[in-house]
Amino acid sequence: MNVAIIQARLDSFSCQSVQEEENVVREIAQEVILGGLSRVGFFKEAVFQGGTCLRILYGLERFSEDLDFVLSKPNRKFRLEPYLEGLNTELSVYGFDFDLKDRKDVTVAVQKQFIKDNSLVKLLTFQHFKPGKHTRNIKVKIEVDTNPPDHGISEMKYHDFPFPYEVVTHDLPSLFAGKSHAALCREYVKGRDWYDFVWYVSRKCSVNYPLLSAALNQQGPWKGMGIQVDKAWYLKEMKKRIEGTDMQKAKEDVLRFIKPHELPSIEIWSTDFFLDRLNKLAAFL
């Protein structure tokens, strides 16, 4: 059992709080699950996306909760469970003993599954967190969209923990399109959307407009309207969204996902700050 590899990974983060240690252990579990999925051939059908994708493969600073995927092409007959059944064999060598929480609703386009582990934390040494009989399980949610919008552009990436493996992911403009769709259409305030928006802007990332157009036509307030997104439409609607968002709630949502040294950057969040970021984005869209 290679628990020492997991322990070394945990130690490398030099966590400063219980919250950070919990985030790191979940992230380690995400990386191990991702590697296991790669080994059982999951990426022959699926594409990695979302905040955890940005965190693991692109260096996003904030932590993320879920593993989000889309299929490379629509397939209503896709089933997630056969891939998950092979995970324990792959991952038990690292000290994980995963349980699957049954979510076999195969009638919906987005299939969901929770993976829980309550054994690994008992084998690790923490600086702040004190495991006990009431210790919460490590829980990772996996979501797979079996009916993805068209025009996503995929590329191959590689990761090397806990072993070298390959991952199919969307390129950054496609990922930014997905995040823009969430920011424009989500019915509640999620500060992580806006944290990621700032991250994309700082990297002068473009937006995959055809993918965003297809996503808007598929889900949200513009569903079925055939909107063809261009720069003018994007800037206008994002401006409306920023002006209508409670940025104090956005701050509160994101705090538990960031490290202490990032707090000053979050404190400056305001409507004016995000409108300034949008103006900066306009210069290179």
pLDDT at residue 123, rounded to an integer: 63
Cα end-to-end span (Å), the chain: 49
Q: Phi and psi dihedrals of 20, rounded to 5?
A: -65, -40
Confidence of residue 147 (pLDDT cuts 50, 70, 90): very high
In this predicted model, what pLDDT tens digit does every residue of 236-260 receive, in sequence order? 999 999 999 999 999 999 999 998 8
Give the residue extent of every domain in the chain: 1-170, 171-285
Confidence of residue 114 (pLDDT cuts 50, 70, 90): confident
Contact 127, 12 (CB under 8 A): no
In this predicted model, what pLDDT tens digit does every residue of 218-241 receive, in sequence order? 999 999 999 999 999 999 999 999
Higher pLDDT, 241 or 2: 241
In this predicted model, what pLDDT tens digit does every residue of 51-81 receive, in sequence order? 999 999 999 999 998 999 999 999 989 998 8
Higher pLDDT, 128 or 87: 87
CB neighbour class for 285 (10 Å; exposed up to 12, middle 13-18, buried from 19):
middle
For range 27-49, the mean pLDDT: 94
In this predicted model, what pLDDT tens digit does every residue of 123-142 receive, in sequence order? 667 776 666 654 567 888 99
pLDDT at residue 105, rounded to an integer: 55
pTM for the whole structure: 0.92
pLDDT at residue 229, rounded to an integer: 98
Separation of alpha carbons 219 and 189, rounded Å: 18
pLDDT at residue 21, rounded to an integer: 87
Separation of alpha carbons 247 and 268, rounded Å: 10
In this predicted model, what pLDDT tens digit does every residue of 182-205 receive, in sequence order? 999 999 999 999 999 999 999 999
Separation of alpha carbons 275 and 184, rounded Å: 15
Tokens 């259409």 locate to 185
pLDDT at residue 113, rounded to an integer: 85
Which residues fall within 8 angstroms of residue 103, CB to CB, at 6 or more apart? 111, 112, 113, 114
| Range of weakest confidence among 28-37, 87-96, 224-233 | 87-96
- Domain spanning 1-170: CATH superfamily: JHP933, nucleotidyltransferase-like core domain (3.10.450.620)
For range 90-101, the mean pLDDT: 74
Contact 63, 23 (CB under 8 A): yes
pLDDT at residue 206, rounded to an integer: 97
